[in-house]
Amino acid sequence: MSDTVKFLLPEREIPKSWYNIAADLPEPLPPVLHPGTKQPIGPDDLAVIFPRAVIEQEMSQEREIEIPTPVRDVYRQWRPSPLFRARRLEQALGTPAKIYYKYEGVSPAGSHKANSAIAQAFYNKQEGVRRIATETGAGQWGSSLALAGALFDIDIEVYMVKVSFQQKPYRRAMMETFGARCIASPSDTTESGRAVLAEHPDSTGSLGIAISEAVEVAAKNDDTCYALGSVLNHVLLHQSVIGLEAMKQMEMAGDYPDMVIGCTGGGSNFAGLAFPFLGEQLRSGRKVECIAVEPSACPTLTKGRLAYDYGDTAHLTPLVKMFTLGSAFVPPGFHAGGLRYHGMAPQVSHLTNLGLIDPRSYNQLECFAAGIQFAKAEGIVPAPEANHAIRAAIHEAEKCRESGEAKTILFNLSGHGHFDMQAYTDYLGGKLKDLVYDESEVAMALAGLPSVG
Ligand SMILES: *Cc1c(COP(=O)(O)O)cnc(C)c1O
């Protein structure tokens, strides 16, 4: 058995600025449109639900945006996060490839999501916001924002997709421990929730519905803002600390990745790791292959359409151009709840369309098998979402075994799976199946895309 190889940075190496890929894009992103007028929106349109500082970041073209000291002070609790070389996994696979992973499960909420939650809570507090409404699928974003709310003294109200509310009582307990209020969505506390319940009393909910409820609460209350845990430019910006640290750690290792891999739900952990490397490629030509991995049962990048679409079911959000399966599509209930979203970050969509990101999809069972192989070799039980990145990394390492090439692979281990043990129990008990999405439902959802311009 070989020793653990870990690359740790001192605290002073926590990045002082986030990296904004908007500054390096070969073509700018298409504009965000108002859901009513279908005209490009300005900062004032967003001020109803977001604090000013966040809106500025959403629209910024600056390459570097300073991380406020109070945010860095909280980051110090777990950042810089460790980067490991997966020596035992390499040996188990018999591959000449070198496999590295950045581990974001060391945050107090157990995933990368805290990187943006802390920043968003800080800006809201600074602008006098008393309460933040948000949604959560599997509960990782809700837990992260609940943590941030406790640290910055802001009330947090989380609309949690009903099926997860029932299946993941411990995520809910964690949010409530941090003082957040957790409401099963669809609920009877909002108009959008009541509209869904009137039509489907037994609805188990979806991220799209939960977003509608949270946005509605923020829009109707002056003291309340809304926060989103992925997809938007400012969230991807906050996550860039992952890749900025990883660049320094790869340098410590005397290596540079041939490929960078991340799983994609809304795109934030993938972008967080990949964008600083991709920016380097865009500026200096240093090649890196960026692989975005999604579930075959919710194949937004590989089977979706690049089009203007809403972020939610009730169509309260602005229209963004992204790869989408249609806002009416409800993905089947596979266990990587954080990857069950109909859309994809506009920046990730744009770069995929430009051929700078290579998307692929894998099925649930092969991802759990990969996650368990990883856990046995490396001693960390991954979140089901992260298993998708692991599956792709193992696939690439196996290709190296066949070709004899010693490529350097870097992937993001976005979180641990300690709240997902029911999923592992089901997998080990032979109860999980590969789920297929309903193609006619996607076709219908795509046919319902808004017509623009
Ligand atoms: C939420 C989540 C994801 C998916 O969201 P992205 O915005 O695509 O990163 C992936 N992994 C973990 C552990 C998550 O909590």
Higher pLDDT, 267 or 330: 267
- Count, residues in the chain: 453
Contact between 307 and 449 under an 8 Å Cβ cutoff? The reply is yes
> What are the structure tokens assigned to 58, written together?
């959403």
Contact between 320 and 279 under an 8 Å Cβ cutoff? The reply is no
Residues with CB under 6 A from ligand 1: 111, 113, 140, 230, 263-270, 338-339, 383, 385-386, 414-415
| C-alpha 414 – ligand 1 centre gap (Å) | 7
Task: For residue 353, tell me if it sits in a domain.
Answer: yes
When pLDDT is averaged across residues 319-331 and rounded to a whole number, the result is 93
Task: For residue 228, tell me if it sits in a domain.
Answer: no
Task: For residue 350, tell me if it sits in a domain.
Answer: yes
Q: Which atom of ligand 1 is nearest to the CA of 137?
A: 1
Residue-wise pLDDT tens digits, 38-54:
999 999 999 999 999 99
Residue-wise pLDDT tens digits, 419-448:
999 999 999 999 999 988 989 999 999 999
- Looking at ligand 1, which residue's alpha carbon is closest to its atom 3? 338
Alpha carbon distance 313, 127 (integer Å): 29
Any residues with CB less than 8 A from the CB of 36 and at least 6 apart, and which?
Answer: none
| C-alpha 403 – ligand 1 centre gap (Å) | 32
| C-alpha 47 – ligand 1 centre gap (Å) | 26
Distances (CA, A) of 43 to 40, 46, 100, 265, 322: 10, 5, 40, 26, 20
Residue-wise pLDDT tens digits, 99-134:
999 999 999 999 999 999 999 999 999 999 999 999
Q: Tell me, what's the pLDDT at 156? A: 98
Q: Which atom of ligand 1 is nearest to the CA of 140?
A: 15
| C-alpha 183 – ligand 1 centre gap (Å) | 21
Task: For residue 244, tell me if it sits in a domain.
Answer: yes
Residue-wise pLDDT tens digits, 249-292:
999 999 999 999 999 999 999 999 999 999 999 999 999 999 99
Q: Is the pLDDT of residue 333 over 90?
A: no
Task: For residue 193, tell me if it sits in a domain.
Answer: no
Q: Is the pLDDT of residue 2 over 70?
A: no
Phi and psi at 369, nearest 5°, equal -60, -40
Q: Which atom of ligand 1 is nearest to the CA of 416?
A: 13
- Tell me what percent of the residues of the chain surpass a pLDDT of 90: 91
User: Which CATH number belongs to the domain containing residue 426 in this structure?
Assistant: 3.40.50.1100
Task: Please state the domain count of the chain.
Answer: 1
- Looking at ligand 1, which residue's alpha carbon is closest to its atom 9? 269
The whole domain housing 325 covers 5-14+68-110+239-447
Whole-model pTM? 0.97
- Looking at ligand 1, which residue's alpha carbon is closest to its atom 2? 338
| C-alpha 232 – ligand 1 centre gap (Å) | 13
Q: What value does the mean pLDDT of the chain take?
A: 96
Higher pLDDT, 167 or 409: 409
Task: For residue 158, tell me if it sits in a domain.
Answer: no
Alpha carbon distance 252, 231 (integer Å): 31
Higher pLDDT, 141 or 204: 141
Task: For residue 72, tell me if it sits in a domain.
Answer: yes
Q: In this predicted structure, which of 115-124, 160-169, 244-253, 402-411 has the lowest mean pLDDT?
A: 160-169
Residue-wise pLDDT tens digits, 184-239:
999 999 999 999 999 999 998 989 899 999 999 999 999 999 999 999 999 999 99
| C-alpha 385 – ligand 1 centre gap (Å) | 6
- Looking at ligand 1, which residue's alpha carbon is closest to its atom 7? 268
**Confidence band for 67, pLDDT divided at 50, 70 and 90:** very high
- Looking at ligand 1, which residue's alpha carbon is closest to its atom 14? 338
Q: Is the pLDDT of residue 1 over 70?
A: no
**Confidence band for 242, pLDDT divided at 50, 70 and 90:** very high
| C-alpha 152 – ligand 1 centre gap (Å) | 23
**Confidence band for 334, pLDDT divided at 50, 70 and 90:** confident
- Looking at ligand 1, which residue's alpha carbon is closest to its atom 10? 385
36 burial (CB, 10 Å; 0-12 / 13-18 / 19+) is: exposed
Any residues with CB less than 8 A from the CB of 30 and at least 6 apart, and which?
Answer: 308, 321, 346, 350
CA 116 to chain centre: 10
**Confidence band for 294, pLDDT divided at 50, 70 and 90:** very high
| C-alpha 295 – ligand 1 centre gap (Å) | 12
Higher pLDDT, 255 or 316: 255
| C-alpha 268 – ligand 1 centre gap (Å) | 7
Task: For residue 324, tell me if it sits in a domain.
Answer: yes
Q: ω into residue 169 within 30 of 0, thus cis?
A: no
